[in-house]
Amino acid sequence: MSRLSKPERFKAVIGWFEQNMPVAETELHYDNPYELIVAVILSAQCTDKRVNMITPPFFRRYPDAEALAAAEVEDIFELIRSCSYPNNKAKHLSGMARMLVNDFGGVVPDDVETLQRLPGVGRKTANVIASVAFNMPAMAVDTHVHRVSARIGLTYRAKNPLETERQLVKYIPESKLAIAHHWLILHGRYVCIARKPKCSECGLREWCRYYQTKAQDAPRKDAMTQ
């Protein structure tokens, strides 16, 4: 296979996803921006499946920012204790809700920079809220996006999520940033998994830098050791 240029690789990968994953959405359950921001804060280092088990009773108890802002941290903790880092997340949720009420009238802002002022909301979370809730052209980078982008060859030597984000937004059309986030997450969650990617099931093999090097080197190394 001839060496692909960066634009060629992006075009091929985006084209494959458009054909094979035309619908790609968050697996978190939510009905409005408030519910989404709560769910995303809870999802840090926790599975979406677990978060979706926690949020129904949580939202019955705290249906909006005003209700959550009035809650005691200890009561929030009791509802989210089955997720990872419940102590920190309870404090973040409380602080986030209070700032929403005090500074934003209980309304979740749609600007990435403004969102990052909220407790518990880093750049990744802010980008998720902006793109998913408000359809803004933002690229959220979590561990799946960071890993898959590097493996495929969309990014090169990106040391952290911010570097990954900058490389991705350079080549992904603005209109496709929001869905591209979900393409990469879902691909990383179910196919290009961390420890042993399922290359035999992957439709991106033809354009994947990892597959073209390490995965195909394995049979040659095995033959040499026999």
124 is catalytic: yes
Annotation-wise, does 83 bind a ligand? no
- Marked catalytic residue, from 48, 142, 214, 222: 142
User: What is the length of the chain?
Assistant: 226
208 annotated as ligand-binding: yes
Query: Measured at the alpha carbon of residue 6, what is the angle toward residues 3 and 11, in degrees to the nearest 5?
Result: 100
Catalytic one among 124, 159, 176, 196?
124
Annotated binding residue at 202? yes
Does the annotation flag 46 for ligand binding? no
Active site residue 75: no
Just list the catalytic residues. 124, 142
Binding-site positions read: 192, 199, 202, 208
Binding-site positions for [4Fe-4S] cluster read: 192, 199, 202, 208
